[in-house]
Amino acid sequence: MSTRVTSLRGMLIGVIRSTETRDVTLVGDDLDALRAELEAQATGDWVVTASSVEMARRSTELTLIGRLANWVTREIEADDREALHAKVPDGFKLISMRRV
């Protein structure tokens, strides 16, 4: 009696995330207020991913440069890895996959 092992391969589910970013430059003299203003611009799926502050010579003026990223995610489905990668639209990257 022989037994045959068959592999049951299910569908692949991939999670993709937007790669859209935008830079924001804010100028003022209160660092806490500038940071609060930057955070206020991160609405919905947008998050602050980086920020730096520069101070002008002989001035109290601060320049805050921040980067925001749109971290909206969604799922895509395919039968195999190659097909899953082919379904990733421009402006998105595949961040995880699982077999179901």
Give whole-number Cα distances, 95 to 12, 14, 75, in Å.
13, 7, 10
Query: Which residue shows structure tokens 């920020």?
Result: 51
CA angle 50, 33, 29 (to 5 degrees): 100
The domain spans of the chain are: 12-99
76 - beta bridge partners?
14
- Assign 39 to helix, strand or coil: helix
Amino acid in position 6 = T
Mean pLDDT, rounded, of the chain:
91
CA 46 to chain centre: 8
pLDDT under 50: residue ranges of the chain: 2-7
pLDDT 10s digits, 10-37 = 899 999 999 999 999 999 999 999 999 9
pTM summary value: 0.75
